């Protein structure tokens, strides 16, 4: 990815406290921020240029969000991977990728991925609940 010039808009998926801190830091660096969240009046919305309040799988709202943001990131790992993919499909630059989000949302998959790439992990096993 190439660096963003000042004045660019960063899109953040999630409107909580981490999104607020990210938005404030981005503003100090000369960036605008737009938030996409499924909760009205979140902490990040109070310090950001624009907020989209919609379901994370609302493709029309995501497409509008993608047109506004020069790059999109997440404030937390539980944003649906399908949301990131919908933004990519709409032409947005998105990081982390849908695959990274999917892996991060399942602790067994996450630890398996780390182990497969040579990153040390404590012993782990899958647990099935029925």
Is 115 contained in some domain?
A: no
pLDDT tens string, the chain, 130 residues long: the values are 678 898 999 999 999 999 999 999 999 999 999 999 999 999 999 999 999 999 999 999 999 999 999 999 999 988 999 999 999 999 999 999 999 898 888 888 888 888 899 999 898 888 888 8
Q: Which domain holds residue 54?
A: 9-100
Residue 1 has a pLDDT of 64
CA pair distance 70, 5, nearest whole angstrom: 10
Is 35 contained in some domain?
A: yes
The total number of structural domains in the chain stands at 1
Is 19 contained in some domain?
A: yes
Whichever domain contains 69, its CATH number is 3.40.50.20
Is 122 contained in some domain?
A: no
Is 127 contained in some domain?
A: no
Could you check whether the bond before residue 96 is cis, i.e. omega within 30 degrees of 0?
yes
Is 33 contained in some domain?
A: yes
Is 14 contained in some domain?
A: yes
What is the phi/psi pair of residue 53, to 5°? -110, 110
CA distances from 100 to 31, 54, 85, 86 (A): 25, 23, 11, 15
Is 111 contained in some domain?
A: no
């Amino acid at each position: 990815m190439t660096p963003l010039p000042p004045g660019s808009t960063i899109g953040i998926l999630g409107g909580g406290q981490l999104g607020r801190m990210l938005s404030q830091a981005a503003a100090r660096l000369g960036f605008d921020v737009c938030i996409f969240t499924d909760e009205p009046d979140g902490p990040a919305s109070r310090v950001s240029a624009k907020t989209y309040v919609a379901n994370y799988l609302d493709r029309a709202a995501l497409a509008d969000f993608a047109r506004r943001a020069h790059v999109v990131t997440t404030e937390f790992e539980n944003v649906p991977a399908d949301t990131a993919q919908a933004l990519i499909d709409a032409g947005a630059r998105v990081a982390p990728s849908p695959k990274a989000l999917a892996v991060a949302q399942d602790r067994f998959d996450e630890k398996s991925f780390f182990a497969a790439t040579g990153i040390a992990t404590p012993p782990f096993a899958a647990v099935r609940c029925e």
